[in-house]
Amino acid sequence: MKPDARNPNLDQLDTDFLYHLGLDTSMDLEGMFGDVKYVCMGGSSVRAEDFANKAAADLGFEVPEGGAQPIGKTERCSLFKVGPVISVSHGMGMPSMLIFLHELAKLLDYAGAQDVKFIRIGTSGGVGVEPGTVVVAEEGLNGKLEPAFEQVELGETHTYPTGLDRQLAEEILEARGEIRAQLGKTMGTDDFYEGQGRLDGALKPRYTEADKMAFLKRAHEAGVRNIEMESTAFAAFCLRAGIPAAVVCTTLLNRLQGDQVTSTPEQLAQFSDNAQRLVLQYIRGQLEKAAA
């Protein structure tokens, strides 16, 4: 985290309890996390554990018999560490993700970790791309197709830009190999149903199929290639903190062709694996370069 972004109020705390992680500054955080270089965040605890075990196998790090074990509390998220890689779940949506971004950034600051990159790995709805395509975000756009994240603080709305690290995005894309991947803008919304213009939610929508298609086509023309529920908050936080960040999400469907996810469980597992493999290929290349 860049020094001018760090909260000076933290210096007044005898112990900072990172409540949702189940960690605090009375622990040897430097010994536990001082060597971290990559924080990889995904929505579910299952995916976080799966990615940790894939990272161990792919990058050549040992894990206990039975697989990677979570560190700290597991009620709200699961955090794993494999070599210089943290794999952690962030739940669904921006409010949940922001909690963990704050606590992870503090954790790594207290640990003295240097040159850390944050990468969100997830699933999304594609816009004009084939299901299974991995979109590496150039920028996060909100539900109004603006490069901005709005947050209410003490009753006032504040707007933060949502730029992402272009060099990091291009380096990740270069590691794609046989994986179908491309750059594109990622739209982050506050909801899976009406916030993303779906017609299959519980409530009667205020818009029609024609309205939905007109908006999705406008989003596509603006450069949007996928839609999820975290990118703008993630991008805004990391930009404020001075943390190089990337959003790498595989697409489960093409929203220009429908709202429902109809792929088989086997196809969905492969689609999800595409984004994880791309990030692991990038990390492996960076570690090999550093060791050369």
Q: What is the pLDDT of residues 16-26, one digit of tens each?
A: 999 999 999 99
Residue 168 backbone phi and psi in degrees, to 5: -60, -45
Q: What is the pLDDT of residues 53-86, one digit of tens each?
A: 999 999 999 999 899 999 999 999 999 999 999 9
| Cα 96–Cα 252–Cα 212 angle in degrees, nearest 5 | 85
Q: What is the pLDDT of residues 146-160, one digit of tens each?
A: 999 999 999 999 999
pLDDT of residue 292: 83
Q: Are 66 and 54 in contact (CB under 8 A)?
A: no
Q: Provide the β-strand partners of residue 226.
A: 126, 186
* Burial state string for 134-155 with b = 16 or more CB within 10 A and e = fewer than 16: bbbbbbbbbbebbbbbeeeeee
Give the model's confidence band at 179: pLDDT under 50 very low, under 70 low, under 90 confident, else very high.
very high
Q: How much is the pTM?
A: 0.96
